[in-house]
Each structure stands twice: as structure tokens, then as C-alpha cells.
Amino acid sequence: MNICYDEKGTGNPGKGPVRGRFESGSVLEVDTIAVVLLFIDGVGLGDQASYNPWVTHPTPHLSDLLGGNSLCERAVGAYGADVLLIKTDATLGVRGIPQSATGQAAIFTGRNAPAAMGCHMSGLPFRRLREWVEQDNIYRQFRRKGWRATFANSYTKEYFARPATRRGWISVTTATVQSADEPLRDLSDLLAGRAVYHDLTRRTLKRYMPELEEIVPEQAARDLWGIARDYHLVVHEFFLSDRAGHKQEPELVSWVIETYDRFLGELVRKKGPHDTIVLVSDHGNSEDLRVQTHTANPVPTLIIGDREAVEEKEIAKWDLTCIAPLLHRLVQRQIRGKEEKDG
């Protein structure tokens, strides 16, 4: 396994968290057509086999999208007029097993992070990679175009109080949104339906806050669309899929797959005719329970909506660096379509 580490694992991330209230009507009005990016950690396109829980566990909503197929490499292809599953290279031409930090950096910047760093980097980004993603990423790119992008996940005060967080040990997703001075969503936003917790149902948060009400994944999907109506792009990160692959606890694996399938099903059901959902992962893991490590399998890019934004000639060389340009293209096509419709 070719994983390397930066020479310095600490450092000040530069700016503290930007916190703001996400009141209804507090953002500039944008077109009600939206793009939703679902980043699901640690899900590869594996074999149609007994060791792949994405095949053996029921996923009625995913299967409905994929013509009766499970989420595996065999299902790659187009389905109807608005669903496309693309086999996505996560190795990016760098030897070794793909890892979280550089995989996520590639997704959120559109640049080849493993090649820039010289290797695949695991876990949270060290200072060199963190500064690299802060320089240019999807949030900053959208802002330069006058478009609005937001991260839907909520944070707790305890997260920012941790010594590790204060030293700069933050995820790529957090580093990118902070770099654009976008406000981060907190518990008050979550309780008001203006944020979505990382696990969708608030199950893990309830362990520390017993008084908190757990919600169904369908409600998380409805909340996410509520957020999306004020933005061109809304992003959600779900990482328990990667944890389930590492831990290989049957109950957690089952819960993750059922919960996410229900969430995705409701998200699709509530999708407007011109909205687009893009689901992508950073590396393989939970699709092969024979191992507790990441895999070299390709990962899914699942497009639900404007699949014509991807040209046929692009598919053969599709990799993680294609995601950010795709998001730009989807929004641009939406804006152009709206302008043509309005004359």
C-alpha cells in the first residue's frame, strides 16, 4: 500500500470557522433548479458477489434507478433518459491503494491530488495538502462565477473545541468550505431543518444528546432539498459507509446501506424535473468485506438528472478530477436553459 505522510501533521488552519445563520430568505435569490452533490465515503464498484453487501443487501431505490441491478461494476451504463452510472478511476495514475485525503481533494478541486502530493494520502489532510485544497476548490470556483454553493452538513461546538481541530486536523470537506468563507451550519440550523447531519438520521448525535429526536432518512432528504432551493449547488458528506467497511460490523453495514438507500430514494422522489443529483465516492472499501482496508476498485459516479452533460467520449477516461468540472457544466447548462426559456 503506497501511503505517504506530510512532514508536518499540525498547523493552524489559518481562519477559525465562519459561523452564520441560515434563515429563510437570508440568501440571494437564485434559480430554483439545483445540483446536489452526494459524497459517500468508501464505496467502490465491486463484484456481484456474496462479499459485496451493496449486492447482498436489499437496495430497492438504487435497484429501481439501475434497471433492477445492484450498485456494482456490472451495473455501469445508462438507464432511461436521466440516469447514468459511470465507472470512475480513483487511482489517478498513482501507484497504490486510493485513500481519503487525496481522493476527496481531487473531487473537490478537479485537480489530481495524488499526483501533486506524489502519493495517496489517508485520513485527514496534512498541512501541505490542506493548503493545496484551500487555494482552489469548488466553493471558490463557484464564488468567482457569482454562483452559490454550500455544505449542508452541520457541526457541533464540541468539534471546534477539540485540540486536534484547533491544530488544523480537519477534513477536506471542511477545509474547502472554510476557505471560501462560507458559514458552517450548527446545531440550531440542524434543529430548524436548515442542515443535515452526517449520518442523516442524527443517530450518532443522539448518543451524546439523548433528548435529541432521531429522524428518518426521508426527512433528511426533504431537508436537503429545502437547503438546495437557495443555492446552485449543495453538498452532503456521508462517511459511515467507510467506517462500516473498516469495522465490518454486520449491523452497521446493514444500517448504512438501508439508510442511504432510503435517503436516496426520497431525494429522487422529491427531485424537480430539471434538478440533478451527482453521487460519487473517493475510494473503494465497503463493497468488499473480505478485507478491512480500502480497495483499488473503481468508484461510482451516479448522475440522476441531466446525464447529457457528460459526453460519450469522456466516459472511458472518467476519474475523480472530472467531478468538479461536471458540477460547473451542470449549473451552466441549467442557467443557459433558463435563459433560453425566458427568451
Neighbours of 306 (CB within 10 A): 23
pTM: 0.91
pLDDT at 150: 97
Distance from chain centroid for Cα 200 = 13
Q: How many residues does the chain have?
A: 343
Sign of CA dihedral 52, 56, 58, 64: positive
Distance from chain centroid for Cα 105 = 11
122, 112 Cβ separation under 8 angstroms: no
Q: Would you give per-residue pLDDT tens digits along the chain (343 residues)?
A: 333 333 223 233 334 444 444 444 333 344 467 999 999 999 999 999 999 999 999 999 999 999 999 999 999 999 999 999 999 999 999 999 999 999 999 999 999 999 999 999 998 999 999 999 999 999 999 999 999 999 999 999 998 899 988 888 899 999 999 999 989 999 999 999 999 999 999 999 999 999 999 999 999 999 999 999 999 999 999 999 999 999 999 999 999 999 999 999 999 999 999 999 999 999 999 999 999 999 999 999 999 999 999 999 999 999 999 999 999 999 999 988 877 777 6
pLDDT at 343: 65
pLDDT at 32: 67
